[in-house]
RNA sequence: CGGGGCGUGGCGCAGGUUGGUAGCGCGCCUGCUUUGGGAGCAGGAGGUCGUGGGUUCAAAUCCCGCCGCCCCGACCA
């Protein structure tokens, strides 16, 4: 490709509203342009990148036995209603009313694929089956972020496996899991598969493929000793977690203190420190009021330095909202304690850490008052122990004697074992088994955000001068610069000749044939980030060589055109 | 959805408190010179100052509403 004809405008300065390095560089290098918040155009160079990433994903999907197809973007709302996801995913669904009825723009395709495959598969002989597509998805994200990292319209590869039983589903899952590892290896990403929470997709076993990054929206924990890795939402700390202690011993009296304006743990800790008592958040007891799907009231207890993972409570539990507190004026919001909670119709659940810690500093159930020396089984009782506390850096590993470290990361892919979650709710997802009995298909689903990969790879592969694409995804293999070609016929001819030779050899070349100054050419080449930069100028011509620079390593060498051809083909 | 910030040529910004016919750098066009790490000179094009209303002789500037964008949080297959 001759640069003089390429739709490309590089920017010397980053757009003022771009924060992440990948976002700034992708815009500066002319790969993407924003149309609206979280809605982007891929310009020619950016689209080549998308195509290259997609090609790798396709190869590995095909190799793993998955078959590519293409489902509609439009999904009838009735289909989502059948599984209840019209409500579950309500806040991200984009609706569209058309002559044929009400639709949503597909945010993911479990329902569509289940009904489609259900209609095609009637026998166990048709299974196992794995289908995939590469398609634009729509999610009305509350907050698009960091350029291509989180957008409202994005390209995704989603695959779905169908099996006759759980064991076969496990095998299909393993094949996909391995394929994902190959894909991320080939994309030049350093990743960690972690045990994850299944969220709105549902199902049991699932893994997120995490890429460590300072702009990641997720955190996972990892044990350096045994390799255990889990999203913090799914992570469970080992039993031997150190007990927090107020140092007062079991005999510490319960004392109520006036603690005005301390509705949060932080403000409480600060107040005690101001009063000369040096406490930490871990010595306080966090009491969170919840209600479940049957409107039962639950009080969840965790040490004050932890969060309550509401999803672990079960039965659709959610935190009290303002209306709930308004309906229960006897609860002193911000000063709730566990004392006599059962008398207020709470079921008290506590993380096991509550058993090993204490005495606690916690709410005294009166506005502006807290109690110290609050002791388990003397001042309050627990109905059930559930691991509802978030893990903390340094917690013991659940699998070995190591400790857990935190890592910030981007979710690059996610694989789920869905089981019968969808096939039970969608009509027709049945097949005749060997005995002629009807069974339901065990499903798995597997997603990779293709357009997000553009941002993730850019985050990992750039420096102060610009992007540095891995060879496997780079839009072009070689960026060829004709230094001063505008005034030197020799240089122009030599560069054009090399361009033709390289192109004939099957090498993808971006040829800078613009009448630009050498500085502009070098700067743009570094910004665009093709793996090899080859410069020809009067100086190198005199020596009969070309200058070769490896964009990633910065290594420079002088080689003859013949040597260059030989090394690249 | 809560908090904060910002909307002025394609991009980055100044001007705004003190109202008086819009400016700088980059980019773009023409010409000449220049050419190994974002060239110089000269000339030129391009702006409903997000939008609607209000105050005023006069609004980019002051007041009110709305829209959009970014960051933090909540949320997030």
The predicted pLDDT at position A312 comes to: 80
d(Cα A539, Cα A543) in Å, to the nearest integer?
Answer: 7
CA dihedral of A293, A294, A298, A304, whole degrees rounded to 10: 0
Contact flag, residue A249 CB and nucleic strand B, below 7 A: no
Contact flag, residue A322 CB and nucleic strand B, below 7 A: no
Nucleotide nearest to A488 (CA to C1'): B35
The least confident of A139-143, A179-183, A263-267, A519-523 is A263-267
Percent share of chain A, pLDDT over 70:
97
Determine the distance between A16 (CA) and B46 (C1') in angstroms. 22
Query: What are the structure tokens assigned to A213, written together?
Result: 């990054």
Contact flag, residue A100 CB and nucleic strand B, below 7 A: no
Contact flag, residue A529 CB and nucleic strand B, below 7 A: no
The predicted pLDDT at position A241 comes to: 47
Report, at the CATH architecture level, how domain A3-236+406-458 is classified. Answer: 2-Layer Sandwich (3.30)
| Residue A135 near residue A50 (C-beta atoms within 8 A) | no
Determine the distance between A129 (CA) and B7 (C1') in angstroms. 52
Determine the distance between A39 (CA) and B1 (C1') in angstroms. 21
Give residue numbers, 367 to 406 of A, with CB < 7 Å from strand B: none
Contact flag, residue A555 CB and nucleic strand B, below 7 A: no
Determine the distance between A541 (CA) and B34 (C1') in angstroms. 21
Determine the distance between A16 (CA) and B9 (C1') in angstroms. 17
Q: Is the per-residue pLDDT at A195 higher than 70?
A: yes
User: Which among A271, A278, A270 has a CA at the least distance from the CA of A257?
Assistant: A271
Q: What average pLDDT does the structure give for chain A?
A: 91
The predicted pLDDT at position A244 comes to: 47
Q: Is the per-residue pLDDT at A198 higher than 70?
A: no
Contact flag, residue A149 CB and nucleic strand B, below 7 A: no
Query: What is the per-residue pLDDT across A20-77, written as a single tens digit (0 to 9) for each?
Result: 999 999 999 999 999 999 999 999 999 999 999 999 999 999 999 999 999 999 999 9
Contact flag, residue A218 CB and nucleic strand B, below 7 A: yes
Determine the distance between A141 (CA) and B76 (C1') in angstroms. 7
Q: List bases in chain B with any atom under 7 Å of a protein Cβ.
A: 1-2, 5, 11-13, 25-27, 34-39, 68-77
The CATH number fitting domain A255-385, selected from 3.90.960.10, 3.40.50.460, 3.40.50.2300, 3.40.50.720: 3.90.960.10
Contact flag, residue A523 CB and nucleic strand B, below 7 A: yes
* Domain spans in chain A, listed from the N-terminal domain onward: 3-236+406-458, 255-385, 476-568
Query: What is the per-residue pLDDT across A299-345, written as a single tens digit (0 to 9) for each?
Result: 999 998 888 888 788 777 788 877 777 788 888 888 899 999 999 88
Going A334 to A335 to A339 to A342, the CA torsion angle's sign is: negative
Please identify which residue in the block is written with the tokens 């850019």: A458
Residue A393 pLDDT grade (very low, low, confident, very high; cuts 50, 70, 90): confident
Q: Same CATH topology for A255-385 and A476-568?
A: no
Contact flag, residue A316 CB and nucleic strand B, below 7 A: no
Complex ipTM more than 0.85, yes or no? yes
Residue A246 pLDDT grade (very low, low, confident, very high; cuts 50, 70, 90): very low
Query: What is the per-residue pLDDT across A257-274, written as a single tens digit (0 to 9) for each?
Result: 998 888 888 888 888 888
Q: Which residue has the higher pLDDT, A170 or A352?
A: A170
Residue A251 pLDDT grade (very low, low, confident, very high; cuts 50, 70, 90): confident
Element housing A322 (H / E): helix A322-327
d(Cα A337, Cα A375) in Å, to the nearest integer?
Answer: 12
d(Cα A490, Cα A240) in Å, to the nearest integer?
Answer: 75
Nucleotide nearest to A516 (CA to C1'): B35
Contact flag, residue A517 CB and nucleic strand B, below 7 A: yes
Nucleotide nearest to A137 (CA to C1'): B77
| Residue A193 near residue A185 (C-beta atoms within 8 A) | no
Q: Which residue has the higher pLDDT, A184 or A344?
A: A184
Residue A245 pLDDT grade (very low, low, confident, very high; cuts 50, 70, 90): very low
Determine the distance between A23 (CA) and B20 (C1') in angstroms. 42
Which residue(s) pair with A415 in the sheet? Answer: A207, A446
Contact flag, residue A520 CB and nucleic strand B, below 7 A: yes
Give residue numbers, 425 to 464 of A, with CB < 7 Å from strand B: 445, 447-449, 452
Give residue numbers, 58 to 97 of A, with CB < 7 Å from strand B: 91-92
Residue A240 pLDDT grade (very low, low, confident, very high; cuts 50, 70, 90): low
Report, at the CATH architecture level, how domain A476-568 is classified. Answer: 3-Layer(aba) Sandwich (3.40)
Determine the distance between A517 (CA) and B30 (C1') in angstroms. 19
Q: Is the per-residue pLDDT at A201 higher than 70?
A: no
Which class for A568: exposed (0-12), middle (13-18), buried (19 or more C-beta within 10 A)?
Answer: middle
The whole-number average pLDDT for the span A460-473 is 96
């Amino acid at each position: 490709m001759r640069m003089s004809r390429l739709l490309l405008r590089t920017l010397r300065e980053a757009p003022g509203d771009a924060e992440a390095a990948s976002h700034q560089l992708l815009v500066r290098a002319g790969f993407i342009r924003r149309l609206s918040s979280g809605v982007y155009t891929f310009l020619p160079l950016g689209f080549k990148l998308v195509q290259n990433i997609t090609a790798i994903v396709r190869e590995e999907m095909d190799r793993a036995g998955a078959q590519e197809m293409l489902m509609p973007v439009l999904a009838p709302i009735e289909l989502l209603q059948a599984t209840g996801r019209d409500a579950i995913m309500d806040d991200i669904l984009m609706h569209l009313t058309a002559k044929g009825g009400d639709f949503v723009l597909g945010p993911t395709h479990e329902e569509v694929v289940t009904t489609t495959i259900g209609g095609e598969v009637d026998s166990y002989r048709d299974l196992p089956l794995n289908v995939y597509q590469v398609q634009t998805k729509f999610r009305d994200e509350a907050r698009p972020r960091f350029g291509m990292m989180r957008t409202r319209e994005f390209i995704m590869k989603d695959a779905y496996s169908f099996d006759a039983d759980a064991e076969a589903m496990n095998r299909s899952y393993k094949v996909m899991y391995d394929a994902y590892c190959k894909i991320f290896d080939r994309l030049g990403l350093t990743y960690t598969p972690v045990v994850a929470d299944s969220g709105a997709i549902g199902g049991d076993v699932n893994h997120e493929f995490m890429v460590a990054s300072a702009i990641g929206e997720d955190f996972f924990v990892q044990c350096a000793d045994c390799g255990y890795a889990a999203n913090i939402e799914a992570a469970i700390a080992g039993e031997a977690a150190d007990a927090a202690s107020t140092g007062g011993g079991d005999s510490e009296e319960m004392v109520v203190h006036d603690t005005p304006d301390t509705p949060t743990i932080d403000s409480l800790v600060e107040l005690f420190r101001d009063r000369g008592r040096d406490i930490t958040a871990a010595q306080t007891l966090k009491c969170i009021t919840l209600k479940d799907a049957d409107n039962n009231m639950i009080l969840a207890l965790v040490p004050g330095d932890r969060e309550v993972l509401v999803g672990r409570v079960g039965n659709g539990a959610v935190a009290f909202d303002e209306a709930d507190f308004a309906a229960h004026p006897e609860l002193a919001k911000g000063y709730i304690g566990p004392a006599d909670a059962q008398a207020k119709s709470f079921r008290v659940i506590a993380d096991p850490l509550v058993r090993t810690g204490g005495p606690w500093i916690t709410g005294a159930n009166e506005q502006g008052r807290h109690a110290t020396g609050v002791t388990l089984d003397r001042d309050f009782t627990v109905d059930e122990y559930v691991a509802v506390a978030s893990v903390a850096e340094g917690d013991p590993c659940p699998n070995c004697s190591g400790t857990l470290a935190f890592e910030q990361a981007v979710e690059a892919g996610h694989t789920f074992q869905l089981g019968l979650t969808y096939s039970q709710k969608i009509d027709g997802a049945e097949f005749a088994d060997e005995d002629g009995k009807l069974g339901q298909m065990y499903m798995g689903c597997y997603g990779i955000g293709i357009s997000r990969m553009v941002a993730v790879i850019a985050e990992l592969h750039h420096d102060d001068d610009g992007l540095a694409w891995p060879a496997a995804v780079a839009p072009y293999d070689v960026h060829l610069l004709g230094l001063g070609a505008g005034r030197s016929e020799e240089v122009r001819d030599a560069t054009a000749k090399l361009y033709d030779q390289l192109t004939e050899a099957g090498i993808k070349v971006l040829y800078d044939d613009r009448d630009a100054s050498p500085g502009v050419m070098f700067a743009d080449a570094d910004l665009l980030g093709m793996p090899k930069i080859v410069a020809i100028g009067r100086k190198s011509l005199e020596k009969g060589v070309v200058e070769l620079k490896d964009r990633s390593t910065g290594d420079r060498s002088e080689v003859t055109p013949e040597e260059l051809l030989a090394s690249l083909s």
